[in-house]
Structure 1
Amino acid sequence: MTELATMRSPETKAAEAAPSSLEVVTAFDDFMRSFEAFKEVNDERLAEIEARMPDAVTSEKLARLDDALDRQQKTLAELTTKARRPALQAADGHDHAAPREHKAAFDVYVRRGEVSSLKSLESKALAAVTDAQGGYLVPEATEREIGRRLAEVSPIRAIASVQQVTTSVFRKPFATDGFAAGWAAETAARVQSATPNLDELAFPAMELFAMPAATQTLLDDAAVDLDRWIAEEVETAFAEQESVAFVTGDGTTRPQGFLTPPKVANSSWTWGKIGYVPTGAAGAFAAATPSDALLDLVYALRSGYRRNATFVMNRRSQAAIRKLKDADGRYLWEPPATAGATATLMGFPIAEAEAMPDIAADAHAIAFGDFRRGYLVVDRIGVRILRDPFTAKPYVLFYTTKRVGGGVQDFDAIKTLKFATS
């Protein structure tokens, strides 16, 4: 976001039109045709392996089709996301949800740097602004649009729980030994239950920033929708940073990722750790029955979590999975049933997160779990913007910040597949 030469201007962004339904349907049809060709060539490759006559030409052709599938799947996802994205407005479909006065004052600040209108809002106790050093809060409609866009393009946020807070740390109590419960007849005496041992999980909100740029000439153009431009510009930067933090974040300068806690064999699982299932081969699936490890992973998760579970992996791991079949010769990976849907593995949806590690020795390259119950994203309310016309003349920079936290809230709801013998 800081590379000014590669920035898209508000004028360029405003000119981009939403894709038509025909474009989405065409992209989906192309993707399905590529997948059928992929299966045909992969079947040929497997037959050559069984006959102990592998052909390099077949392998090369399969690799090309695999790359094409990845590109088409990405294009299809982008088109469907843009097609279903609503206009910048309130949830009830009207622009009046955010105070018009705040929106107008904020527009003047962004375009010309004038703060008098925002200061007057503060004097009216509308709590709409902060001091100039910290930046000014964006209108509520713009903040909602940023949150909605992040939910669409940030893979872990899309499947996790999201909690909005007004404090810097969200604390969630839990019972380390569970709460006592039991059955009793209507008139029978109730046995006093033991006092539970309580602890708490803390989710501090860390600062996330982006710095889109524009020229003053473009900002002076009244036709440019600045609210939409800001939401679109920070969407990519915020989503990329969140995608890494929610997977591998250290919990110190960024949210804690779900792969950060200690990991143990699922048979030895205890609270505070993430259980894993080994594939049986270092850096690979087992040669004889590769799908068995995925079955073990699915059933390592308790049934209460399993019904809402999702696989999480990067595109390279997904490419390896696409080649696998079950004992009856059926492909484990299935393409999305319709445009806008997600691919599935053994009937469970797949979330593609590029921050997940590649398949390698001892890598936890695939995760499976109920992330809605297992992982919590904490959003501190308020997105701030500080206008900077001095640092990168003739560009005007907009230092945009929001505070985000995250971490595992139920350590039994997420399991991983470890590419190792044990």
Structure 2
Amino acid sequence: MIKKLNELIEKRNTVWEEQKAINDVVLKDNRKFTPEETEKWEKMDRDFEDLTSQIDEVRKEINRQEKVEQRNAFMKEAQTQAIKPSPENKNEEEGNKLPNLDYISEKYRGIFEEYRKQTNGKYSTREYADGYRQHLLGNSMEAQRALQADIDKSGGYLVTPEQFIARLIMELDNIVFVRNLATIISVPKAESVGAPALESDPADPVWTAEIKVGDEDSTMDFNKRSLTPQPLAKYIKVSETLIRKALLNVEDIVRQRLTYKFAVTEEYAFMRGNGAEQPLGVFTASSAGIGTGRDVSAGNTTTAIRADNLHNCLMTLKLQYRKNAVWVFHRDAIKQIRKLKTGDGDYIWRPGIASEKPDTILGKSYYESEYAPSTFESAAYVGIIGNFGQYWIVDALDMRIQVNPFSYMSTNQIAYFARKETDGMPIDENAFVRVKLA
């Protein structure tokens, strides 16, 4: 797969060099593209985007294969640890033994260790997972017998097992790029988490001699902004025939479908959410998140991005934020940016020249989102650069699913209604700069 990836990257680099050659001629002659040049450019542009999509797919496939290998190792270990409760008493200590946490990525392992402590391991046992499987299959009586009082009497919603929510969150990380960059905080239940937001910079530090500690700083204020996981409800319909006959087990089928539903909704919210009972997005101007003082339009026209503006945006970030900053644009903005040059005649967009090297803009990697703004009109936002470690996401781990095997019986489908609770917001606006048109 690595060989195929490198071949695709090389092909795309060739297309890019040909595009640059056309663009350079047009810029040198100080004229517009001729119809023939436009046609040729647009064809190469389609080839470029097609190759980029193929590169992304191969990279995803490489990641998938790595995950399969990791899970195979986990499943082999899990099978050797499988606990079979005695027929006389399913609630023996042996039947409730907790599996190890090796299947969870290191990023979340500590979180789920704490989750087990706070829930007394209630949702982490193999017995609970087995009973939950019956719940997803629509076997409510078997599920109630296995899980007893764990079913929510008010609506039939049932807290998902640890393994289900852990894998769903890890798969969301792979789909929603913001999650890979943000600071993730997980709580057992939906409860408020105060996020310290720096309201003013500390004063200049004073050099102090040994023993002395210096003057007290009174200029740095932390304003508590409340982060509270907000409910996000989605439902899916799955063919009962698929559930009964598929090689995948029912948890995998339901989790994969729900992961996609949650992923597109979360990415939109992290980009454009208004903060009212939902995450506050980076493209929403707000005093609670990123204010208008972090918008930079100098250098742009009313309808197009210019290289000077992107350089201004980059250098507006302080060094400590600029070091790990990334760009976020819509694909339409990327099309514009790939034609831009610096004053020295260098293109500001650079292709990754190896499988592990990303494409860059002014030396910084970028992410493409369908939910980034793509309307090019006066005073519109068209991109952002920032250190997304200063975007906080809070997940409640007690995700719940209700199974409805009746409403879609005529189409042989089972409906799954899921409630996941998440919130997010920028906690330090100084870590971000929005690209704005003039």
Q: Which amino acid aligns with 2:228?
A: P
| 1:67 equivalent in structure 2 | 46
The Cα of 1:28 is off from its aligned counterpart by: 3.6
Distance in 1 of aligned mates of 2:144 and 2:6: 46
| 1:11 equivalent in structure 2 | none
Asked if structure 1 preserves the Cα contact closer than 8 Å seen for 2:282 and 2:290, the reply is no
Q: Does 1:169 align with 2:195?
A: no
| 1:43 equivalent in structure 2 | 24
Q: Does 1:275 align with 2:294?
A: yes
| 2:120 equivalent in structure 1 | none
Show CA shifts across 1:172-228 (max 9, x none).
234534556543222458545549654211122222233222222222227332232
State how 1:205-224 maps to structure 2 within 5 Å: 205-221=229-245, 223-224=247-248
Q: Does 1:316 align with 2:332?
A: yes
State how 1:6-405 maps to structure 2 within 5 Å: 24-47=5-28, 49-50=29-30, 52=31, 54-85=33-64, 86-87=67-68, 89=71, 94-95=77-78, 96-97=99-100, 98-117=124-143, 120-121=146-147, 130-131=152-153, 133=155, 135-166=157-188, 167-174=190-197, 176-178=199-201, 182-188=206-212, 191-194=215-218, 197-221=221-245, 223-262=247-286, 273-278=292-297, 279-285=299-305, 290-339=306-355, 341-358=357-374, 359-373=376-390, 375-393=391-409, 394-405=412-423
* Structure 1 residues 187 and 22, CA gap change in structure 2 (3 angstroms): closer
Determine what percentage of the aligned residue pairs are the same residue: 22
Asked if structure 1 preserves the Cα contact closer than 8 Å seen for 2:138 and 2:403, the reply is no
Distance in 1 of aligned mates of 2:382 and 2:156: 39
Asked if structure 2 preserves the Cα contact closer than 8 Å seen for 1:184 and 1:190, the reply is yes
Is 138-147 or 344-353 further displaced after alignment?
138-147
* Structure 1 residues 189 and 102, CA gap change in structure 2 (3 angstroms): closer
Distance in 1 of aligned mates of 2:212 and 2:229: 48
Q: Give the secondary-structure state (helix, strand or coil) at the position aligned to 1:365.
A: strand
* Structure 1 residues 72 and 53, CA gap change in structure 2 (3 angstroms): closer
* Structure 1 residues 33 and 227, CA gap change in structure 2 (3 angstroms): farther
The Cα of 1:303 is off from its aligned counterpart by: 0.6
The Cα of 1:156 is off from its aligned counterpart by: 2.1
Q: Which amino acid aligns with 2:133?
A: D
Is 337-346 or 319-328 further displaced after alignment?
337-346
**Cα RMSD (Å):** 2.9
* Structure 1 residues 130 and 408, CA gap change in structure 2 (3 angstroms): same
Distance in 2 of aligned mates of 1:252 and 1:225: 37
The Cα of 1:90 is off from its aligned counterpart by: 10
Asked if structure 2 preserves the Cα contact closer than 8 Å seen for 1:218 and 1:224, the reply is no
Q: Which amino acid aligns with 1:345?
A: I
The Cα of 1:250 is off from its aligned counterpart by: 1.0
Q: Which amino acid aligns with 2:57?
A: E
* Structure 1 residues 134 and 316, CA gap change in structure 2 (3 angstroms): farther
* Structure 1 residues 118 and 74, CA gap change in structure 2 (3 angstroms): farther
| 2:428 equivalent in structure 1 | 410
The Cα of 1:319 is off from its aligned counterpart by: 0.8
Distance in 2 of aligned mates of 1:172 and 1:100: 35
Q: Give the secondary-structure state (helix, strand or coil) at the position aligned to 2:59.
A: helix
Distance in 2 of aligned mates of 1:91 and 1:248: 39
Is 352-361 or 312-321 further displaced after alignment?
352-361
Is 104-113 or 295-304 further displaced after alignment?
104-113
Q: Give the secondary-structure state (helix, strand or coil) at the position aligned to 1:412.
A: helix
Q: Which amino acid aligns with 2:130?
A: A
Q: Give the secondary-structure state (helix, strand or coil) at the position aligned to 2:245.
A: coil
Show CA shifts across 1:137-176 (max 9, x none).
2222222221122112213222222111233322123453
The Cα of 1:44 is off from its aligned counterpart by: 3.8
Q: Give the secondary-structure state (helix, strand or coil) at the position aligned to 1:405.
A: strand
Distance in 2 of aligned mates of 1:90 and 1:251: 40
Show CA shifts across 1:29-56 (max 9, x none).
4433433333333334434x52x36411
Distance in 2 of aligned mates of 1:252 and 1:303: 32
Asked if structure 2 preserves the Cα contact closer than 8 Å seen for 1:273 and 1:411, the reply is no
* Structure 1 residues 153 and 320, CA gap change in structure 2 (3 angstroms): same
* Unpaired segments ≥5 residues, structure 1: 1-19, 264-269
Asked if structure 1 preserves the Cα contact closer than 8 Å seen for 2:194 and 2:226, the reply is yes
Q: Give the secondary-structure state (helix, strand or coil) at the position aligned to 1:382.
A: coil
* Structure 1 residues 110 and 319, CA gap change in structure 2 (3 angstroms): same
Q: Which amino acid aligns with 1:172?
A: A
Distance in 2 of aligned mates of 1:185 and 1:155: 46
Distance in 1 of aligned mates of 2:419 and 2:184: 18
The Cα of 1:114 is off from its aligned counterpart by: 2.5
